[in-house]
Amino acid sequence: MPVGTTIANRQQQASEGLIGFFVNTLPLRVRLEGNSSFQHLLQQVRQLTLAAYAHQDVPFEQLVTALNVERNLSHAPLFQVMLTLDNTQVLPTH
> Residue 50 and residue 5: Cα distance in Å, rounded?
12
In a domain, 73, yes or no: yes
CATH number at residue 19: 3.30.559.30
Per-residue model confidence (pLDDT) at position 15: 64
> Residue 81 and residue 6: Cα distance in Å, rounded?
12
Domain count within the chain: 1
Per-residue model confidence (pLDDT) at position 16: 65
Residue numbers of the domain that contains 54: 2-83
Per-residue model confidence (pLDDT) at position 12: 67
In a domain, 33, yes or no: yes
Distances (CA, A) of 70 to 14, 20, 32, 62, 76: 36, 30, 25, 14, 10
In a domain, 91, yes or no: no
pLDDT tens digits for range 11-30: 667 766 666 666 788 888 88
pLDDT tens digits for range 17-75: 666 666 788 888 888 878 888 898 889 888 988 898 888 888 888 988 999 988 888 88
Beta carbons of 26 and 6 less than 8 angstroms apart:
yes
In a domain, 34, yes or no: yes
In a domain, 56, yes or no: yes
Q: Give me the mean pLDDT over the 76-92 stretch.
A: 81
Rg for the chain, CA atoms, rounded: 16
In a domain, 93, yes or no: no
In a domain, 29, yes or no: yes
